[in-house]
Amino acid sequence: MADLLDNLKQLVELDRSFGIEFQGKPAPGQLPPLPSQRPAASDQRPAASSQRPTASDQRPATSGQPSAVPALSGLASADLDAIAVSIAQCRACGLCQQRTKTVPGEGSPTPELVFVGEGPGADEDASGRPFVGAAGQLLDKMIGAMGMKREDVFICNVVKCRPPGNRTPEPDEMAACLPFLEAQLTTLKPKVICLLGATPLKALLGLTGITRLHGQRKEWRGVPVIPSFHPAYLLRNAEAKKPAWEDLKVVLGVLGREPPKR
HSE of 24, CA atoms in CB hemisphere, 13 A: 11
Choice from 83, 84, 93, 139 touching ligand SF4 (CB under 6 A): 93
Closest CA to 232 of 162, 141, 138, 148: 138
109 φ, ψ to 5°?
Answer: -80, -10
Is the CB of residue 184 less than 8 Å from the CB of residue 217?
A: no
SS3 call for 142: helix
Residue 232 in contact with ligand SF4, rule: CB under 6 A: no
Choice from 155, 177, 193, 210 touching ligand SF4 (CB under 6 A): 177
**228 strand-pairing partners:** 196
Annotate each residue in 120-139 with x if it binds ligand SF4 (CB under 6 A) or - if it does not, as one string: --------------------
Phi-psi region of 201 (alpha: psi -120 to 50; beta: other; left: phi over 0): alpha
Only segment of 5-13, 28-36, 52-60, 172-180 that touches ligand SF4 (CB under 6 A): 172-180
Query: How many residues interact with ligand SF4 (rule CB under 6 A)?
Result: 15
Residue 185 in contact with ligand SF4, rule: CB under 6 A: no
**194 strand-pairing partners:** 115, 226
Show contacts with ligand SF4 in window 18-77 (CB under 6 A): 70
Looking at beta carbons only, is 136 or 163 nearer to ligand SF4?
163
Residue 111 in contact with ligand SF4, rule: CB under 6 A: no
**DSSP secondary-structure letter at 220?**
E
Only segment of 19-27, 39-47, 108-116, 159-167 that touches ligand SF4 (CB under 6 A): 159-167
Residue 116 in contact with ligand SF4, rule: CB under 6 A: no
Closest CA to 32 of 126, 115, 132: 132
Q: Which residues bind ligand SF4 (CB under 6 A)?
A: 70, 87, 90-93, 95-96, 102, 159-161, 173, 176-177
